Chains A and B, each alone.
Chain A
Amino acid sequence: MGGVAQLRLMVVLGLRSLWTHKVKTLTVGSLLFFGTFLVVVGTALLDSIESSMARSITASLAGHIQLYDADAKDPLALFGSGFMGSDDIGEIPDFAPVKAAVSAVPNVAAVVPMGIGMATISTPVELDQVFLSLREAVRDKDQARIDALAKRTRAIATDLVTEYANRAKISTDTERIAKAQADLARVLSDAFWKELEDSPELSIQFLDSHIAPLASDGRLVYLRYLGTDLDAFTRDFDRFQIVEGEEVPSGHRGMLLSKTFYEKQLKHAVARSLDRIRDKRVQGTTIAGDALLRTIARELPKQYQRITYQLDPADAGTLEGQLRELLPQVEGGLPELVQAFLAVDDANFDARYAAFYELIAPHIKLYEARPGDVITLRAFTKGGYLKSVNVRVFGVFRFSGLETSDMAGAQNLVDMMTFRELYGQMTPDKRAELADIKAKVGIEDIDRASAEDALFGGGALVEEHQDDEAGFDEFRGVDLAGQVERLREEAAAPFDQTAVDNGLALNAAVLLKDPERLDESLAAIREALDAAHLRVQATDWQSASGMVGQFITVVRLVLYIAIFIIFLVALVIINNSMIIATMERVAEIGTMRAIGARRRFVLVMFLFETGVLALLSGGLGGAAGIALITALGHSGISAGGVDIMVFLFSGPFLYPSAGIDQLLLGVTAIIVASLASTLYPALIATRIQPVVAMQQKE
Chain B
Amino acid sequence: MFRTLAALAVVTAALLPAPPPARAEMTQDAMVRALKTIDDRQSNSGDYKALSFIEQKEKGKTDLLYEAVVYRRDEDDKLMILFLKPKSEAGKGYLRIDKSLFMYDPTTGKWERRTERERIGGTNSQRADFDESRLAEEYTPSWVEESKLGTMTADHLKLTAKPGADVAFPVLEIWVDQATGNMLKAQEYALSGRLMRTAYYPKWSKMFSSSKGADIYFPKEIRIFDEVEKGNQTTIVIQDVDLSSLQANMFTKAWLESKSR
Residue numbers in B under 8 Å from A474 (CB-CB): 49, 51, 69, 82, 84
Partner of A455 from the list B64, B89, B111, B200 (CB cut-off 8 Å) is B200
A474–B71 Cα distance when bound, in Å, is 11
B200 and A472 contact, CB distance less than 8 A: no
Q: Which of B58-97 contact A (CB under 8 A)?
A: 58, 61-65, 67, 69, 82, 84-91, 97
Q: Is the CB of B225 within 8 A of A389?
A: no
Measured between beta carbons, the chain B residues less than 8 angstroms from A472 are 49, 51, 240, 242
Residues of A contacting B223 in the complex (Cβ-Cβ under 8 angstroms): 446, 451, 455
* B3 close to chain A: CB less than 8 A: no
Choice from A386, A433, A443 contacting B121 with Cβ under 8 Å: A386
Of B56, B88, B208, B240, most buried by chain A (CB within 10 Å of CB) is B88
Verify if A487 is at the interface (C-beta below 8 Å from B). Answer: yes
Measured CB to CB, the closest approach of chain A to B209, in angstroms, equals 8
Q: Counting CB contacts under 8 A, is B143 at the interface?
A: no
Instruction: List residues of chain B with CB within 8 A of the CB of A385.
Output: 64, 88-89, 121-122
The interface stretch among B14-22, B131-139, B146-154, B186-194 is B146-154
Q: Is the CB of A441 within 8 A of B239?
A: yes
Known: A384-B122, A389-B108, A481-B259. A437 touches B53 (CB 8 A): yes
A487-B235 contact in complex given A443-B55, A481-B260, C-beta closer than 8 Å: no
Contacting pair B237 A390 (CB below 8 A):
no
> Is A384's CB under 8 angstroms from B253's CB?
no
List the A residue with the shortest CB-CB distance to B218: A465
With A462-B206, A467-B240 given, is the CB distance from A451 to B225 under 8 Å?
yes
What residue in chain A is nearest B69 (Cβ atoms)? Answer: A474
Whether a CB of chain A sits under 8 angstroms from the CB of B98 is yes
Known contacts A201-B254, A443-B55, A480 near B207 by CB under 8 Å: no
Q: Which of these, A441, A448, A464, contacts B205 with CB under 8 Å?
A: A464
Interface membership of chain A positions 462-488, coded 1 if the CB is closer than 8 angstroms to chain B and 0 otherwise:
111101100110110010110110011
Contact across chains for A434 and B62 when beta carbons are under 8 A apart: yes
Give A209 to B100 CA distance when docked, in angstroms. 5
Within 8 Å of chain B (Cβ to Cβ): is A376? yes
Q: Could you say which of B51, B110, B179, B241 contacts A465, with CB atoms under 8 Å apart?
A: B241
A452 within 8 A of B: yes
In this assembly, does B204 line the interface, its C-beta being within 8 Å of a C-beta of chain A?
A: yes
* Docked CA distance A424–B64 (Å): 13
* B130 on the A face (CB < 8 A): no
Chain A stretch 560-581: residues in CB contact (< 8 A) with chain B: none
Determine whether the beta carbon of A478 is less than 8 Å from that of B254: no
Range of interface residues on A (Cβ < 8 Å) = 35 or more
What does the 1/0 interface line of A487-503 toward B look like (CB < 8 Å)? 11001000000000000
Q: Are A437 and B205 in contact (CB under 8 A)?
A: no
Q: How far is the CB of A687 from chain B (nearest CB, A)?
A: 73
Cβ 8 A contact of A383, one of B55, B64, B108, B149: B64
For A467, list chain B residues within 8 Å (CB): 240-241
Give which listed residue, B98, B230, B231, B244, contacts A209 with CB less than 8 A.
Answer: B98
How distant is the Cα of A488 from the Cα of B108 in the complex, in angstroms? 8
Beta-carbon contact of A487 and B107 below 8 Å: yes
Our pick among A437, A452, A481 for the contact of B85 (Cβ within 8 Å) is: A437
Residues of A within 8 A of B4 (CB): none
Q: Mark A364-388, 1 if CB is under 8 A from B, else 0.
A: 0000000000001000100111111
Q: How far is the CA of A135 from the CA of B104 in the complex (A)?
A: 15
Give every chain A residue within 8 A of B90 (Cβ-Cβ). Answer: 478, 480, 483-484
Task: Evaluate contact between B217 and A437: CB separation under 8 angstroms.
Answer: no
Q: How far is the CB of B166 from chain A (nearest CB, A)?
A: 10
Interface pair A208/B99, CB less than 8 Å apart: no
Q: What's the minimum C-beta distance from B249 to chain A, rounded to whole angstroms? A: 7
Identify B202's interface contact among A445, A456, A468, CB under 8 A: A456
Q: A209-B99, A218-B113 are contacts. A468–B241 as well, Cβ < 8 Å?
A: yes
* A205–B253 CB distance below 8 A: yes
Measured in the bound complex, the distance between the Cα atoms of B106 and A481 in whole Å is 9
Do A462 and B180 contact each other (CB < 8 Å), given the known contacts A434-B65, A437-B85, A484-B107?
yes
B16 to chain A, nearest CB (A): 26
Nearest-Cβ distance from residue B59 to partner chain A, whole angstroms: 11
- By the criterion CB–CB under 8 Å, are A456 and B252 in contact? no
Decide if B213 is an interface residue (CB 8 Å cutoff): no
Q: Once the chains are docked, how many angstroms separate the CA of A547 from the CA of B237?
A: 46
| B242: A residues at CB distance < 8 A | 468, 471-472
Q: Are A458 and B150 in contact, with the CB atoms below 8 A?
A: yes
Contact flags (1/0) for B118-144 with A, using CB distance below 8 Å? Answer: 000110000000000000000000000
Please give the distance in Å from A479's CB to the nearest CB on chain B: 9
Establish whether residues A434 and B87, one from each chain, have CB atoms under 8 Å apart when the complex forms: no
> Per-residue CB proximity of B192-232 to A under 8 Å, as 1/0?
00000000101111111000000001101001010000110
In the bound complex, CA of A437 to CA of B89 (Å):
13
* CB-CB under 8 A for A462 and B63, given A212-B113, A385-B89, A443-B237: no
Residues in B neighbouring A440, C-beta threshold 8 A: 53, 67
Give chain B residues whose Cβ lies under 8 Å from the Cβ of A128. 113
Query: When the two chains form the complex, which single residue of A132, A212, A426, A468 contacts B208, counting CB atoms closer than 8 Å?
Result: A468
Question: B residues within 8 A CB of A386?
Answer: 121-122
A325 at the interface (CB under 8 A from B): no
Cβ-defined contact, B261 with A481, below 8 A:
yes
Instruction: Write out the residue numbers on chain B whose beta carbons fall within 8 Å of the beta carbon of A483.
Output: 87, 90-91, 260
Q: Are A201 and B84 in contact (CB under 8 A)?
A: no
Flag whether A141 is at the interface (Cβ < 8 A): no
Residues of the A chain whose Cβ atoms lie less than 8 Å from the Cβ of B237: 441, 443
A426 CA / B65 CA spacing, docked (Å)? 13
How far apart are A269's CB and chain B's nearest CB, in angstroms? 18
**B residues adjacent to A (C-beta < 8 A):** 49, 51, 53, 55-58, 61-65, 67, 69, 82, 84-91, 97-100, 102, 105-113, 121-122, 149-152, 163-164, 177, 179-180, 182, 184-185, 200, 202-208, 217-218, 220, 223, 225, 230-231, 233, 235, 237, 239-244, 249, 252-254, 259-261
A sample of 15 cross-chain residue pairs with beta-carbon separation below 8 angstroms, ordered by A number, consists of: A205-B97, A205-B252, A205-B253, A208-B97, A385-B64, A385-B88, A388-B110, A390-B110, A438-B55, A448-B225, A448-B230, A472-B51, A474-B82, A483-B87, A487-B107
* 5 additional A-B residue pairs with CB within 8 Å, beyond A384-B122, A480-B106: A201-B254, A383-B62, A430-B88, A461-B179, A481-B259
